[in-house]
Chains A and B, each alone.
Chain A
Amino acid sequence: MLIFNNIPALLVAIPLLVSAVVSIISSARIAWILTFSTTLVCLFMAFELIDIVSSKQTLTYAFGGWEPPWGIAFIVDSVNVYLILLVAFISVIATIYAYTMLAREIAAEDLSKAYAVWLLTIASLFGLSMTGDAFNLFVFLEISALSSVTLIALGAGQDRRALIAAYNYLIIGAIGATFYVIGVGYLYAATGTLNLVNIIERLNELGTNQAAITGLAFMLAGIMVKAGIFPVHIWLPAAYSYAPSAVSSFLSAVATKVAIYYFARLLFGIFINITQLIDFFLLYVLMPVSVIAIFYGTIAAIYQTDIKRLFALSSIAQIGYITFAFSLNSHSGISAGFIHIVNHALIKGALFMAVGIFAVGIGKRATMVSLRGVGRQMPITFAGFVIAGLALIGVPLTAGFISKLYLFKAIFETGNVFFVAVIAISSALSVLYLWKIFEVMWLQEPAQPLKIEKEPTVAYISLWLMVITIAIFGIYSHGVSSSGMLAANALVGSR
């Protein structure tokens, strides 16, 4: 069919087109309807892509009919097709959530513009996860950075600190993007091509090449900034804690994940001719950094009193788990990483959604003090919050357990007991901060009697869709785990 052949291009083009239309519509309701139907169409197309990829393995789309390596190509294979589905799924749910939540948190006249930027972010995330061109990736990186900076800055209506957070993200993100593009420059000088598939071939011909290695180093550094990997995560906590809650739940779920996917692809899928160097990087750089990230994020979260900031810090630890799984440098490690990308996106998205509903309910920022006794007043949200929180720890019957299970499996393959201790202790520590929140919300009495404002019913739907998905993926884990395996197969073969 005509349309189906063009899905990779349409996934970016349709949100882009609709975003231009939405930007000139003044009615927020119509803007939302257009946004929501666009995300639904994208979700449908993402399912179609899975169909296509499972039968054809790799789908290459040449823009403008210019065949790669001359033109820009989009590549969809089993590594990124599930990521595309994840982005599409989360964007549908986050858009439902945004219907009431954005309207309560930002000025009415900004709403339709916000949806236009929202769609632009979605388009750029699809582009990032599909592009097979190193420089085109930089372009999408910039689009996603600028549009998410705008979305984060919209939190200024609630808290002026959002402006500083957005500015920091802009500057640090720009430095990261600069590093990336310098790396692409070196790589282009060495190989004479920007097409990722072609780069692999040229690198094999070149052998060990200093310029290509320098390029890889710069590219990795740039992508690490975007992925929020410790120690270059510093933009992340403030950005996610002061953004409007619809924005934080959407961005925390998928924005960094797309960068992590590309990070993995660079390490395992592109520079396959210098595995020795990559092994060295994984063992002596990424692994220690990930372990520090896990403990830093968890311990900083324990001492945090602002709930949104707490979960942003816990995101750093969770990203640490993902990169730690990658650094094990084995088939099962990489698949554990990809499994956790999906599960963490769902869990953290759900947690931010719940915190946003609490904050709207009590009418001020969610902190350890202001949330006292809220759990009993808002039981529906609290139940969802608890399930998502348990999934974050890794309790059985939730998606988080599956992540930890595959992570342990990958660790046992290495035979190193120390790593078992790392994961076990950090999971135990994460119980601490979650229990603290549960206790504050359920067992403690509020200082003054709580006045709960009218609760956003539509937001419940999206929160519970996420929570139910977490529960389903905890029981029927086959889909997610096989997607992780397939991604690892495509990247490193079944070694």
Chain B
Amino acid sequence: MRDNPVFKIVSKILFGPIIIYGLYVQFHGDYGPGGGFQAGVIVAAAYILYALIFGLERVRKIMPNLVIQYIMALGVLVFAGTGIASIAFGANYLDYSPFADKIYKAQHLGIIIVELGVGLTVFAVMLGLFYAFAGFKPKK
């Protein structure tokens, strides 16, 4: 099955558009349906599709375990750090209003940053879960 050229070509063609669609969902999330969680899952799905056709090892080459762990932590840092930044500006935790001069602009910006953090973590966790299950070897 894996050697079937249809799978290989289709997954190669789809890889880019899936990621672009994920980014669309990510950055459209503040005024349309979508957001970091959905985007993270969609982008991870692109990698998982690639891994299903070409094998786990080839995906691990471009996304090693260590990088995944860093992305997980980075996402949380972006999210929680935005909240700390609000406090540093003198507002409440996760209050975006001081980020820009107009309040709606500030909310816009704040949501994009926070959702980016969510997206990064969800992407990394999805892929990490996939690695953990796909790479699982029972101990003898």
Contact = CB atoms under 8 A, between A and B. Distances in A.
A3 B77 CA distance: 19
A20 B83 contact: no
A61 B92 CA distance: 8
B95 A13 contact: no
Nearest to A67: B92
A9 interface: yes
Contact of A17 (B80, B86, B91): B80
Contact of A20 (B77, B94, B95, B96): B77
Contacts of A19: 76
Nearest to B121: A20
Contacts of B87: 2-3, 6, 9-10
A449 interface: no
Given A9-B93, A63-B93, A24 B73 contact: yes
B92 A23 contact: no
Contacts of A6: 87, 92-93
Interface of B is mostly: helix
Contacts of B76: 16-17, 19-20
A361 B33 CA distance: 58
B112 interface: no
Contact of A62 (B69, B80, B92): B92
A65 interface: yes
Interface in B75-101: 76-77, 80-81, 83-84, 86-87, 90-97
Interface residues of A, number: 18
B47 to A, nearest CB: 20
Interface string A1-36: 011001001100100110111011000000000000
A485 to B, nearest CB: 32
B70 interface: yes
Given A64-B95, A65-B95, A17 B77 contact: yes
Most buried by A among B70, B76, B96: B76
Contact of A24 (B70, B80, B86, B93): B70
A9 B76 CA distance: 15
Contacts of B94: 9, 63-64
B72 interface: yes
A254 B40 CA distance: 34
B83 A23 contact: no
A13 B95 CA distance: 14
Main secondary structure of the interface of A (DSSP, over half): helix
Contacts of A13: 80, 83-84, 93
Interface in B39-93: 69-70, 72-74, 76-77, 80-81, 83-84, 86-87, 90-93
Contact of B83 (A2, A9, A21, A62): A9
Given A6-B87, A20-B76, A64 B70 contact: no
A384 B83 CA distance: 43
Contact of A23 (B72, B90, B95): B72
A6 B90 CA distance: 10
Contact of B73 (A2, A9, A21): A21
Contacts of B83: 9, 13
Interface string A191-209: 0000000000000000000
Given A64-B96, A65-B95, A20 B80 contact: yes
A9 B85 CA distance: 13
**Most chain A CB within a 10 A radius of its CB, from B87, B90, B97:** B87
A298 to B, nearest CB: 40
B90 A64 contact: no
A428 B111 CA distance: 60
A62 B72 CA distance: 27
B93 A21 contact: no
Interface string B87-131: 100111111110000000000000000000000000000000000
Contacts of B96: 64
Contacts of B95: 63-65
Contacts of B81: 17
A23 B73 contact: yes
Contact of B97 (A10, A17, A24, A65): A65
A16 B92 contact: no
A319 to B, nearest CB: 33
A9 B77 contact: no
Closest 9 CB pairs of A and B: A9-B93, A65-B95, A20-B76, A20-B73, A64-B94, A17-B80, A24-B73, A65-B92, A64-B95
30 contacts: A3-B87, A6-B87, A6-B92, A6-B93, A9-B87, A9-B92, A9-B93, A9-B94, A10-B87, A13-B83, A13-B84, A16-B80, A17-B77, A19-B76, A20-B72, A20-B73, A20-B80, A21-B77, A23-B69, A23-B73, A24-B69, A24-B73, A61-B93, A62-B92, A63-B93, A63-B94, A63-B95, A64-B92, A64-B95, A65-B92
Given A17-B77, A20-B72, 13 more contacts: A9-B83, A9-B87, A9-B93, A10-B87, A13-B80, A13-B83, A20-B76, A61-B92, A63-B93, A64-B86, A64-B92, A64-B95, A65-B92
